[in-house]
Structure 1
Amino acid sequence: MLYTGKGDNGTTKTFGCGQRMSKSSAIAEALGALDEVNSFLGVVKVNPRATEIVETIAIVQQNLFIVQAEVAGADKRIAEKKVREVEAVINAVEAELPPIKSFFVSGGTELAAMLDFARTLARRAERRVVGVAEERKTTVGKETLAYLNRLSSLLYVLARHANYKSGITEEPPTYQ
C-alpha cells in the first residue's frame, strides 16, 4: 500500500526507525533535497543529448541512494573510492574544456541548463546534509560530505561540456 495515513499529522519515519519525526525536521529536509536532485537527474538522463553521460548519471543516482540511506540512519556509507571516481570524471571532462575565465550565465543548450539546475539542487542537498551533520542528528561520514561537494562540481563541468560540444560559447554576466 502506498499510503497509510500515518503522516497526515505532519510526521514521517525512515525505514528501520520506529520513531516518527516532523516532516520539517532537518533529516526529512535533507532526505527531501536528496530525493529532488536524484529525481531531476532522472529527467536529465532521458534527455536525447545526454547519451554520453547516461552511465555517469545512473551511477550518481545509485550513490545518492546510499547517501539517503546514511542520512536516514542506515548502515550504509559512501566509500572514499566513490569520491575518487567522481574526481576522475571531473578531471577527464575538464581536460577537454577551455579554462574558466569567469562565472557564466546558465543556459546554452537544454542539456546544459538542466545540468546546471541539477547542480543547484545538489548544492541545496549538500547544505541540508551538512546541517544534519552539524546538528548531530545522525552520523554523516566525511566521505559523504566530500561526495556531495564533488557532485556539484561534476554537474557544473558536465554543463560546461554540453555547451562546449554544441559550439555554445559561455556567456559571462554583464553586471550591468
Structure 2
Amino acid sequence: MKIYTKTGDQGITGLLGSGRVPKDDLRIEAYGTIDELNAVLGQVRADGLDPASNELAALLQDELFVLGSALADPDPAGRFHNAIADEHVRRLETAIDAIDAELAPLRVFILPGGSRAAAGLHLARTVCRRAERVVVSLARTPGASVPSAVLIYLNRLSDLLFVMARVVNQRAGVADIPWKGI
C-alpha cells in the first residue's frame, strides 16, 4: 500500500465513519490543530525533559491522539466520538495539583521561555489554546457534535502545560522570566 492515496487531491478528505468534507472544514482544522500540538510535544520530548515530565508528556501525546480521533468522528454514536471522558480531565487536574504543589506561588506574570524545554512547553500551551478556540467554534456550528469533555480537557491541558513549563524550569535550575510590565 502506498502512502499517498490521491483521494485528497481535490481538497476533500474523509472523516472517521463515512463522509467527506473540504480540508478547510472546522472539524479538520480542529483535529489538525490537535495533531500540531502533539507534534510540538514530540519536539519538546526530543529536545529533552526530566524523566517525570517526559513520562507525563508521553501520556499526553497518547491522549491527544485519542482526542483527535474523537474530533474526527462526527457521529455521536461513533466508536471514537466519546473516547475522551471525565476521567481524562480528572487525571489532568491531579497532575496540575501535584506539579503546582512543587512550585512557589506565582506573584507576577511570566514570559514564555527559560530553558529550551520550558519554552517548548509554552509553545505547546499556545497551540493548545488555539486548538481550544477552533474546537469551540466547531461546537458552536449547527449540527456539529463535540463532546463536552473534549472542551474541558483542552482547557485543563493548557493549564497543565503552563505548570509543566514552570516546573521544568525549576527542576533545571532556570528561573522563569518575569514580565516587567508597562
- TM-score of Structure 1 vs Structure 2, range by shorter chain: over 0.9
SS of the residue 1:101 aligns to: coil
In the alignment, the residues of structure 2 paired with residue 123 and residue 160 of structure 1 have an alpha-carbon distance, to the nearest angstrom, of 17
Q: Aligned partners of 1:171, 1:66: CA distance in 2, in Å?
A: 34
| Mapped contact 1:71–1:138 kept (Cα < 8 A) | no
Report whether the alignment pairs 1:13 with 2:17: no
How far, CA to CA, are the matches of 2:100 and 2:114 in structure 1?
A: 18
Corresponding residue of 2:27: 27
Q: How far does the alpha carbon of each residue in 1:25-82 deviate from its partner, in whole angstroms, 9 at most, with x for none?
A: 1011101101000111111222333322122112111111221111112432212111
Give the number of equivalent residue pairs: 175
Please show how residues 124-139 of structure 1 align to structure 2 within 5 Å: 124-139=130-145
Q: What SS class does the counterpart of residue 138 from structure 2 fall into?
A: helix
In the superposition, the TM-score normalised over structure 2's length comes to: 0.89
Q: Percent identity at matched positions? A: 39
Residue identity opposite 1:59 in structure 2: L
Displacement after TM superposition at 1:116 (Å): 0.5
Which deviates the most, 136-145 or 149-158? 136-145
- State the match for 2:162 in structure 1: 156
**2:92 and 2:156 in contact (8 A); partners too:** yes
Shift of 1:4: 1.7
Q: Structure 1 unaligned runs (5+)?
A: none
TM-score (normalizing by structure 1): 0.92
AA aligned to 1:64 is: L
For the 8 Å contact 2:96–2:159, the answer to whether it is kept is yes
Alignment of 1:17-166 (within 5 A): 17=18, 19-73=19-73, 74-76=78-80, 77=82, 78-166=84-172
Residue 156 to residue 111, structure 1, CA distance change in 2 (3 Å): same
**1:137 Cα deviation after fit:** 4.8
Cα distance in 2 for partners of 1:35, 1:50 equals 23
Asked whether the equivalents of residues 44 and 114 of structure 1 are also in contact (C-alpha less than 8 Å), the reply is: yes
Structure-2 separation of matches of 1:6 and 1:134: 29
Say what the alpha-carbon RMSD is for the aligned residues: 1.5
